[in-house]
Amino acid sequence: MVNEQKRLVEKSVEAFIVGLELYNKPTIKYRVEGFSFFIVNAWELMLKAEMLNRGMSIYYRDSNDRTISVDVAVRSIYSDKKTRIRLNLEKIIELRNISTHYITEDYEQKYAPLFQACVLNYANELKRFHNVDISDYISQNFLTITSSYEPLDNEQIKLKYTPEVATRFIQQANEVDVLREVYNSDKFSINIRQNLYITKKNDTADFAVSIEKGSDNHVEIVKELKDPSNTHRYSYQSVITAIQEKMSKDNLHIDYPKGFNSYVLNLVIDFYGIKDEPKYAYKHTIGNQEHYTYSQQFIDFILSEIKKNSDVFVESLKKSKKITPGT
C-alpha cells in the first residue's frame, strides 16, 4: 500500500510540473486545455493517495481494476461542498470537460486567477497530506503562472464565434467573475491584473492621460454599460449561490428548513413576475431555445426582502397574486 501511495504522489508531482511547464511556455497556443488536463490529473492522483492514507478505497465496489473518478475523489476528501479549494477544483474540472468540445484559449484571462489559486492550493495540500515540498522538484518562482492572451470583449467574442458558442463563452466567463466576487477567497482565485487609477498628482503617476479632446493620450470615461452580458451576469444557479453566501456571512435565516434554494428562488421569480422586469432579468433567445440571466439589482432586491420579512419570507411568497417589486 505504501508503494502505491508513493507511486501516486510521484506521478501527481510529474503531472503538476508538466502542466506548469506547458502553461508557461509562450509557443503553446492551446495551453489552457493542456494545463487544465494535467492539473486535474495531478490533483486526482494526489487525492487518491490521501484516500489510501485514510484507509479509503480508490476503486469502484463492483470493479477492483477501475478507480473512482476525480469528482468522487474531490468529494471524498473535501466533504464540505462550500470548501473554497473544492469549489476552485470543480470549476477547473468543468473547464477541462468543456475543452473537449470547445476551443478555450479565450477563457484564459478569466481562468488565470483560478489557475493561480489552484497551483498554490496544490503545493499547500501536497505538503499537508504527504509532507512533500514541491520546491524540492521545481523552483518556487515557477509557481507563479504567466498570462499572455489579450482578453476579447463581448462584441469581439460574438464576431469570432457562432451565436451558440459565443453565448456559452460569455456566460461561462460571467459565471467565473460572479463566483470570484461572491467567494472572495484566495483559495478560489488570486487576481492577476493591472489596475489603472486617475490621479491629479503627477509625481505619483506612472504615465499621463487627459480627458481633453485635443490630447494625444485621449481617454473617455464610460458612465453606463447596457450590454446585458455585463448588466445581467448571474445565471440561475449563481443567483442561488450568491444569496446563500451573503445570507451565511450576514447570519440571515428564512422560514424554510432547507434555506434559500431553487424552490425558494422559483417562488420569488413567480410571485414578483421577475422575468417581466428588464432591470432584474434578461431573456436570451438562440434559435428555439430561451433562457434568462439576472442582474445584481435582483440579488440586492431578494436580500432586502429577506431582511424585511425573514420570519415569514417563504410563507408570504406562497400567495398566488403577483405584485410589482418595490410596490
Average pLDDT, consecutive stretches of 10 residues, N- to C-terminus, the chain (327 residues): 86 96 82 90 97 92 84 96 94 81 65 91 96 91 73 70 75 82 88 50 49 51 56 89 92 93 94 91 80 90 92 86 53
* 202 belongs to a structural domain: no
| Domain co-membership, 15 together with 146 | yes
* 199 belongs to a structural domain: no
Task: Give the CA dihedral 297, 237, 192, 222, nearest 10 degrees.
Answer: -30
- Other CB atoms within 10 A of residue 144 CB: 13
Domain extent, residue 61, equals: 2-183
| pLDDT recorded at residue 194 | 41
| Domain co-membership, 107 together with 233 | no
* 221 belongs to a structural domain: no
291, HSE (Cβ side, Cα atoms, 13 Å): 12
| Domain co-membership, 23 together with 172 | yes
| Domain co-membership, 15 together with 138 | yes
List alpha helices for the chain, DSSP H.
Answer: 2-23, 31-53, 70-77, 84-98, 108-130, 154-160, 163-183, 228-231, 236-249, 262-272, 296-308, 313-317
Cα 245 to the chain's mean position, in Å?
A: 14
| pLDDT recorded at residue 233 | 86
| pLDDT recorded at residue 123 | 95
* 310 belongs to a structural domain: yes
| Domain co-membership, 237 together with 291 | yes
| Domain co-membership, 174 together with 45 | yes
In order, the DSSP letters of 111-158 are HHHHHHHHHHHHHHHHHHHH---GGGTS-GGGGS----PPPP-HHHHH
Which residues are bridge partners to 176 per DSSP?
A: none
* 111 belongs to a structural domain: yes
* Cα–Cα distance for residue pair 202/320, rounded to 1 Å: 61
Q: Helix, strand, or coil here: 187?
A: coil
- Three cell numbers, residue 228: 446585458
Looking at the structure of the chain, the number of domains it has is 2
| Domain co-membership, 163 together with 303 | no
The answer to whether 80 touches 17, Cβ cutoff 8 Å, is no
- Three cell numbers, residue 241: 449561490
- Domain end among 157, 183, 209: 183
Model pTM above 0.85: no
| pLDDT recorded at residue 298 | 93
| pLDDT recorded at residue 257 | 93
| Domain co-membership, 177 together with 252 | no
| Category of 231 on φ-ψ map: left (φ > 0), alpha (ψ -120 to 50) or beta | alpha
- Domain end among 183, 207, 238: 183
| Domain co-membership, 6 together with 121 | yes
* 195 belongs to a structural domain: no
Residue reference for cell 440586492 = 300
The answer to whether 171 touches 235, Cβ cutoff 8 Å, is yes
| Domain co-membership, 77 together with 18 | yes
| Domain co-membership, 252 together with 305 | yes
* 172 belongs to a structural domain: yes
Give residue-wise pLDDT tens across range 34-48. Answer: 899 999 999 999 999
| pLDDT recorded at residue 229 | 67
| pLDDT recorded at residue 258 | 93
Radius of gyration of the chain from its Cα atoms, rounded to whole angstroms = 23
* 176 belongs to a structural domain: yes
| Domain co-membership, 232 together with 169 | no
| pLDDT recorded at residue 326 | 53
